[in-house]
Amino acid sequence: MSKVAKNIVDRVNQLRREIRGHDYRYYVLDAPTIPDAAYDRLIGELRELEKHYPDLVTEDSPTRRVGGKRATEFAEVRYQLRMLSLDNAFSAEEVAEFDRRVRDRLGDREIEYAAEPKLDGLAISLMYENGLLTQGATRGDGEVGEDVTQNARTIRAIPLQLIGKDFPPVLEVRGEVYMTTAGFDELNRRQLAEDRKPFANPRNAAAGSLRQLDPAVTADRPLGFFSYGIGVVRDGNLPKRHSEILVKLQAWGVPVSPESATVHGLKGCLDYFHKLAGLRDGLPYQIDGVVYKVNLLAEQERLGFVTRAPRWAVAHKFPAHEELTRVIGIDVQVGRTGALTPVARLEPVFLGGVTVTNATLHNEDELRRKDVRVHDTILVRRAGDVIPEVVSVVLERRPQDTERFEMPTQCPVCGSEVVKADGEAVARCSGGLYCPAQRKEAVKHFASRRALDITGLGDKIIDQLVEKALIRHVDDLYVLTAEQLAGLDRMGKKSAAKLMAALDKSKQTGLARFIYALGIRSVGEATAAALASHFGTFEALMSADEETLQQVPDVGPVVAAFIVSFFRQPHNRDVIAKLRECGVRWANVTPARSSVQPLNGKTFVLTGALAGMARDDAKARLQTLGAKVSGSVSKKTDYLVAGADPGSKLACAEKLGVVVLDEPAFMVLLAKHS
């Protein structure tokens, strides 16, 4: 290399170091040392050098943030560790209840919490490999998100390369993309100047900006980023506290909220909440509450999670914004599960950044308690700053001619009987598989991975099939033709053939899967497995009365009533008969010989990949045998089933003395008790 060429290489490397240092001071430390104009000159010089010497361009160069091609759609990203959502608390009493539950499980002592502002933005996952950003993905449903890597690269607050050398070889950073209040105001001024519709609020603007198919549009939007934690980590040593991990992330060049703090006990949490509430309006970005997390990672592991939310964290939401408006009508909506929900139609009112025209009345009991009537003046709020709901009626403004609203006794959509179990607040349509209001969601549930697992039958395809009247009920799926499928948007002959093959494959299923696929109220995977194990045949289940059903473990009077009501409806029986005529079949199972199942009272945890069966199938097999399947290892765990790449749960189990089964030993156990 000539002396001149070496000078150029040295200058390019120097410019990159300087620019990354300025990015770190600006986005991470919030302490810039040069004006924007000087920063722009550094970027300009580097861009010119890379233009004349393209061999020196690297993917992590600060000039390479914008450059991705316009996408036609976002690819799916399946998370190795699910992105959990948080339970909400709306009062000090609910926070106290959260703290009590934590102390009940960890010991009655003052708990150390990490406290952070809850940004009103869009969750994102950033994967770093050897310090380089390789993937960015939206949260999606927590299990599958959208690949927005090119868009994430345009956000200057997101480092393309981590600082230092002590970061793990693989590190997943999780956080929130947001838009500053000033940036939002400026963006809307530009929208109006260009005769475009302004955005309703910064959150919508941030979400819309991140999900642009053209990365150049995202780059033009004033987006920021704060990390709130990590996901997958491989071959790295991290601190033992969440708060210390945030400090570590900051040292690696990842921005974290400067308002994050460590607090102690319930009082510390509530003091932090009141402090942030006072700062809320003065912050440069919008927050809708604060988050409390048990600080010690070992204690987080002990607490585990329930369904899709961790037991060790809660979001304490700020009071909702409220306004007065008038009720112009009351309608009844029918949901996927048949729930009848009264909804107040309102005179439009601007509330929390959006125009609200409807507000939920939740259920008949709530409607009666609040006594909401047509023409009433009401106080409406966005619960948790999201869902509009009626708070109360302003009785002094009530007209004299108002009448109480009566809930229908028949489904307003299909005419089926409306049932309401004793002790339940929600009335439901018993039409099940037949009701058109439940049609799309019933088909989506039927085709889902844990039900009949019809690969390729996604939401958009189902929407088209229903909207084009190609299917009315789930049995219509099995009389579709390849020609009909090929005529759908984004479906050619090859895709249609694959879907036809998937439909044919789904006809051979298991009894528990089929029961779950029917979407009977309160019959989840575990209950479906218990029903299959107890009755052995579908005919025995269909003919069972409520008393017989209650002999099944975990089936009480409410669930038994739902099952009987479902099978009592002729529409549902007709659909099931047609499914069988179309070839849907399953093997009967040997009914449990006694009410005491062989693994009753045993707790299992699954980790790693099993070669012989899917994790969901392994879980269902264990539940059929009476076992409880948990998501985290604790002293109460009896067995850990360890497949390939078991992760940290294996080390935890060995430390606690939990019995570890490899896959062959697990298969022997299943065979022994089946």
pLDDT of residue 353: 64
138 with 39, same domain? no
Taking alpha carbons only, the member of 555, 623, 625 closest to residue 597 is 625
Pairing mode, if any, of strands 354-360 and 603-607?
unpaired
The residue written with tokens 């722009």 in the block is: 40
Please write the tens of the pLDDT for every residue from 290-319: 999 999 999 999 999 876 789 999 999 887
644 with 577, same domain? no
- The reply to whether 293 falls in a domain is yes
- The reply to whether 652 falls in a domain is yes
pLDDT of residue 168: 94
Whether 519 contacts 432, CB under 8 Å: yes
Please write the tens of the pLDDT for every residue from 535-565: 999 999 999 999 899 888 778 887 898 899 8
Average confidence score pLDDT of the chain: 87
- The reply to whether 420 falls in a domain is no
pLDDT of residue 1: 41
Q: Which residues are known catalytic residues? A: 118
- The reply to whether 80 falls in a domain is no
444 with 478, same domain? yes
Region 437-463: what's the mean pLDDT? 91
Region 219-225: what's the mean pLDDT? 90
Whether 327 contacts 346, CB under 8 Å: yes
- The reply to whether 244 falls in a domain is yes
- The reply to whether 423 falls in a domain is no
Give the CATH number, domain containing residue 60. Answer: 1.10.287.610
pLDDT of residue 613: 81
392 with 445, same domain? no
158 with 210, same domain? yes
Question: Which of residues 397, 427, 456 is at a domain's end?
Answer: 397
Residue 23 has pLDDT above 80, yes or no: no
209 with 343, same domain? no
pLDDT of residue 345: 95
The residue written with tokens 């306004």 in the block is: 323
Amino acid occupying residue 161: Q
Please write the tens of the pLDDT for every residue from 318-348: 876 778 899 999 999 998 778 899 999 999 9
Confidence class of residue 421 from pLDDT cuts 50, 70 and 90?
confident
Contacts of 368 (CB under 8 A, 6+ apart): none
Question: Which of residues 562, 587, 612 is at a domain's end?
Answer: 587
Predicted TM-score (pTM) of the model is 0.53
Residue 384 has pLDDT above 60, yes or no: no
Residue 211 has pLDDT above 90, yes or no: no
pLDDT of residue 624: 73
Separation of alpha carbons 295 and 114, rounded Å: 5
Taking alpha carbons only, the member of 279, 147, 166 closest to residue 213 is 147
pLDDT of residue 66: 58
Give the CATH number, domain containing residue 342. Answer: 2.40.50.140
- The reply to whether 431 falls in a domain is no
Question: Which of residues 48, 64, 80 is at a domain's end?
Answer: 64
Boundaries of domain holding 350: 322-397
580 with 607, same domain? no
501 with 356, same domain? no
Give the CATH number, domain containing residue 525. Answer: 1.10.150.20
pLDDT of residue 4: 44
Residue 70 has pLDDT above 60, yes or no: no
Count of domains for the chain: 5
483 with 532, same domain? yes
573 with 611, same domain? no
- The rounded percent of the chain whose pLDDT value lies above 90 is 46
348 with 383, same domain? yes
Confidence class of residue 436 from pLDDT cuts 50, 70 and 90?
confident
The residue written with tokens 């409807």 in the block is: 358
